[in-house]
Amino acid sequence: MSGDFKTPSQVTFAPLDPPSRLLMGPGPSLTPPRVLGALAAPTIGHLDPRFLELMDEIQVMLRRVFGTANALTFPVSGTGSAGMEACMANVLEAGDRVVVAKNGIFGGRMADIAERLGCSVALVESDFGEGIDPEAVATALAASDTKLLAFVHAETSTGVLQEVAPLAKLAREAGALCLVDCVTSLGGIPVELDAWGVDLAYAGTQKCLSCPPGLAPVSFSERAVEVLKTRRSKVASWYLDASMLLNYWGGKRAYHHTAPINMLYALRESLIVVLEEGLSAVHGRHMKSHRALVAGLEAMGLSLPVAPALRMPQLNVVTIPEGVEDAAVRGALLRDYDIEIGGGLGPLAGKVWRIGLMGHTARAKNVSALLAALETTLGGLGANIQRGAALPAAHAALAD
């Protein structure tokens, strides 16, 4: 092995040249050129007066997309999972009881984090592809004093959209905080934290906000902030301690860690893009693209396992036809058409595809491109599909 070692002067690499893909998986989504342009703006210091102004602007816009007036609303330096851990670590202490309503992979991740924090976790489980049962949640909350109820708004692993307000009401009636995963929902469908009565929420930048991955917007209600301030012990994570981060994102602007300057430029630009289009228009575009995709898939003879009333528009789960190999189709789409779609997770691995229509990706031309490529690919593999029906059905749905 030692004979293969090369000094830095002997090592050469080709110029960076990533392929241009149509990203239609569970994330990341396509990034608008103006957001990519913001990433390339000159880097300045994280305590520069101009950068502090940009931080204020980001917070104002995040409150609008989150549907909240929460003062403690800011982006954590890290991906969506860092946002999940930040929300839980700041309000939970060892011995606290947590109810996690799980109907997919990411509900399970919430339970894992709570257990790592030394909490007692009561799981309310639903089958993958099903919604959460409010009666089961109410029963779990009534069983003992509960510090936190946690669940996912838009479960990325299954394509199920969960109604938030009824579960948040149950949490409040039980004296518990309510934490909601908005990673795949923020920017794609309405999120109304204040109207729903949600205390803690987190998201990711790479889904419906169409910003590269690397930041996790979070929001803490006044109730959550009060719990944070009256903790018996220090927050388990120094890096994610919101009491210190508040001093940077709040009025004092006290140094905590070096903020990812250019990623925050990109988030600011992506939020401007969303708000310029208008939240209602953005949400409508996601729904219109979803309806066209579903019409095309069903006309082709494919099925969606999630009931229509539970489907989210931005992440569509499709049953893989009998006799078709998952990886063969996804590989062909990537190789022949530069289109990425996602495979199933957990018990759904090898059984479904996950097709994302998130943010900048949620457009009619992308729906048409995918349907045409998928039809050709499946036809070439001998799948039992209806040829020539998908695009007319999608175009009819778009015109409706």
- CA gap 16, 1 in Å, rounded: 28
Provide the CATH topology of domain 279-399.
Aspartate Aminotransferase, domain 1 (3.90.1150)
Q: Are 293 and 316 in contact (CB under 8 A)?
A: yes
Q: What integer pLDDT is reported at residue 3 of this predicted model?
A: 58
CATH 3.40.640.10 intervals, the chain: 33-275
DSSP string over 216-229: EEEEE-HHHHHHHH
Q: What integer pLDDT is reported at residue 5 of this predicted model?
A: 67
Q: What integer pLDDT is reported at residue 216 of this predicted model?
A: 98
pTM: 0.95
C-alpha distances in angstroms, 72 versus 150, 277, 283, 328, 352?
19, 26, 25, 46, 38
Q: What integer pLDDT is reported at residue 246 of this predicted model?
A: 85
What's at 102, amino acid-wise?
K
pLDDT means over runs of 10, the chain (400 residues): 65 91 98 98 95 96 98 96 98 98 97 98 96 98 96 97 98 98 98 98 98 98 97 96 89 87 98 98 98 98 97 98 96 98 96 98 98 98 96 96
Provide the CATH topology of domain 33-275.
Aspartate Aminotransferase; domain 2 (3.40.640)
